[in-house]
């Protein structure tokens, strides 16, 4: 069920009508759960029992981890000596640690089995063995959204281990896990952040409804109108690297950076807008990342919920920045390699993660050096320093997308090699610009530049002038945006990119 479709619009309206016509909160949970089950069945009905079983296992583990079975608190039970109570607490803490480790390993094992086992076997086994077992042609389709599903489960178990209350309501937990707005591509949402909203849920005001509809319409424009049209050129260019010239590959690299951002942030806008109509708020996932002036700032703005997860459940447990500069750099590299592996099993994703890890390490070292040299510390705050930092950061970010878009090292290395001094094949230019896009290379570059300028203007008005459309204007723009998408979006819209991750 494509989020940019009439079918999804009718589905959303139907669920909303039933949801708000019911006054009892328990029944509303059931409505959301059933709707989410129907939504997931429209994609992959065969994996629904697996996800429900995984949700139930994590639900039960959460209860066991959160249940205090130690023999009472010493202050309330004078019959237990202080030493006995301390032993009981130590035994219970060990049991809780074992349970949370079992839960984390189980979730990672499931994720590894679906996303990484076959690629790992192809990499590790001899070619003859791979061919004899048919692994060279075998592909295992992973459950849609499994990476987000697993990361949310791990976060829930660790939060309960750290002291957050475990839920005793499986319907609420399953609704949280399968909520149709976020199940396929996030954003990664904490259970308590989601579930606590049901305590004070109320019918959205006119302002909230207009904001929700505006988010949906804006997301549709980002995804259907901009990302999908840009994606046509990206797919053709990266699919014909041998024929593409250096200028074409640079254009495709810049275009893919825009496509990825518009596609993913467009999906999140639709997801957040849909949730707001149910009185729920999903976390933001993007904050104008292409205007970051450092790689650290970029990761505070790009895929925010994934960055938060990596900090809270990996970087900080590894020691964060508390154990000295050398250990901090090692931790940053480990976190970013894990981030790369999370996106996929190909070596290109690992290379992408290592590039970002190296960039974070370099930024940390430059920051440390700059703090000790007054001239450098002042330089990075001047307009020239800010612009230089932005250019360096975005050049690194956009060029690293090549490994992300072409996770096969053979393809990504070829693209890197052809970034300089390579003329385009005449047939390539005819195929891409004349037949497929019906525009010149210059016109395409102008459209991409205009798109980025529009993003810059929107960023300036929102971040610096604090100006936004009022809710009346947003409501007026919603039907116009949806009509433009229906009229100008390419037929057979491309799937959301992050469905693959």
Which residues are known catalytic residues?
343
Q: Which residue matches tokens 């693209």?
A: 415
d(CA 7, CA 138) in angstroms, rounded, equals 33
Question: Do 424 and 373 contact (CB within 8 A), yes or no?
Answer: no
CA dihedral 216, 222, 227, 229 (to 10 degrees): 100
Q: For the chain, give the longest Cα–Cα distance.
A: 90
C-alpha–C-alpha distance, residues 217 and 225, integer Å: 11
In this structure, what is the dihedral angle of CA atoms 224, 228, 229, 230, given to the nearest 10 degrees?
Answer: 130
Q: 423: which DSSP letter?
A: P
Q: How far apart are CA 340 and CA 353, in angstroms?
A: 4
CB 107 within 8 A of CB 154: yes
Report which of 297, 309, 353, 357 is spatially closest to residue 333, judged by C-alpha positions.
357
Answer yes or no: are the C-beta atoms of 92 and 99 closer than 8 Å.
no
User: Quick count: other Cβ atoms within 10 Å of Cβ 442?
Assistant: 9
With contact defined as beta carbons under 8 Å apart, do 282 and 189 qualify?
Answer: yes
Which residues, 6 or more positions from 262, have their beta carbon under 8 angstroms from its beta carbon? Answer: 222, 223, 226, 227, 230
Asked whether the CA dihedral 167, 172, 178, 183 is positive or negative, the reply is negative
Q: What is the distance between the alpha carbons of residues 219 and 491, in angstroms, rounded to a whole number?
A: 17
Q: Say which residues have a Cβ less than 8 Å from residue 124's Cβ, sequence separation at least 6.
A: none
SS3 425: coil
Residues 6+ apart with CB under 8 A from 489: 4, 224, 225, 228, 229
Cβ atoms of residues 300 and 398 within 8 Å: no
């Amino acid at each position: 069920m494509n989020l940019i479709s009439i079918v999804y619009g009718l589905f959303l309206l139907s669920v909303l009508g039933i949801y708000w016509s019911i006054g009892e909160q328990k029944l509303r949970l059931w409505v959301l759960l059933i709707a989410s089950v129907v939504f997931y069945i429209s994609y992959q009905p065969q994996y629904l029992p697996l996800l429900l079983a995984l949700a139930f296992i994590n639900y039960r583990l959460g209860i066991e981890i959160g249940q205090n079975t130690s023999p009472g608190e010493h202050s309330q039970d004078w019959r237990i000596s202080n030493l006995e109570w301390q032993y009981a607490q130590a035994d219970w803490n060990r049991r809780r640690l074992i349970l949370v480790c079992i839960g984390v390993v189980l979730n990672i094992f499931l994720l590894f089995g679906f996303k990484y086992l076959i690629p790992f076997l192809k990499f590790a086994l001899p070619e003859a063995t791979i061919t004899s077992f048919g692994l060279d042609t075998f592909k295992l389709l992973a459950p849609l959204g499994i990476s987000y599903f697993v990361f949310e489960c791990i976060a829930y178990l660790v939060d309960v281990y750290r002291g957050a209350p475990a839920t005793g309501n499986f319907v609420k937990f399953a609704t949280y896990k399968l909520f149709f707005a976020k199940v396929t591509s996030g954003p990664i949402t904490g259970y308590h952040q989601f579930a606590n909203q049901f305590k004070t849920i109320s019918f959205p005001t006119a302002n909230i409804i207009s904001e929700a509809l505006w988010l949906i319409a804006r997301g549709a424009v980002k995804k259907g109108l901009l990302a999908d049209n840009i994606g046509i050129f990206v797919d053709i260019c990266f699919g014909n690297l041998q024929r593409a010239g250096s200028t074409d590959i640079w254009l495709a690299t810049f275009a893919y950076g825009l496509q990825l951002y518009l596609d993913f942030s467009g999906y999140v806008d639709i997801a957040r807008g849909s949730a707001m109509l149910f009185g729920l708020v999903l976390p933001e996932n993007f904050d104008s990342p292409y205007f970051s002036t450092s790689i650290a700032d970029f990761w505070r703005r790009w895929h925010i919920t994934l960055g938060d997860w990596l900090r809270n459940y990996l970087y900080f447990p590894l020691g964060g920045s508390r154990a000295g500069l050398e250990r901090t750099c090692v931790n940053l590299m480990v976190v970013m390699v894990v981030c790369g592996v999370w996106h996929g099993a190909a070596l290109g994703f690992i290379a992408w993660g290592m590039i970002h890890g190296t960039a974070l390490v370099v930024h940390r070292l430059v920051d440390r050096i700059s703090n000790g040299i007054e001239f450098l510390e002042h330089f990075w705050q001047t307009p020239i320093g800010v612009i230089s930092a932005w250019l360096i950061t975005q050049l690194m970010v956009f060029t690293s997308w090549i490994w992300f878009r072409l996770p096969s090292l053979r393809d990504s290395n070829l693209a890197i090699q052809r970034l300089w001094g390579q003329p385009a094949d005449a047939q390539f230019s005819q195929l891409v610009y004349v037949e497929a896009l019906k525009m010149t290379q210059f016109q395409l570059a102008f459209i991409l530049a205009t798109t980025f300028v529009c993003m810059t203007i929107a960023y300036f008005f929102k971040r610096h002038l604090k100006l936004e459309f009022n809710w009346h204007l947003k409501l007026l723009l919603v039907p116009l945006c949806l009509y433009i998408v229906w009229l100008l979006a390419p037929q057979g819209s491309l799937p959301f990119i992050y469905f693959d991750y």
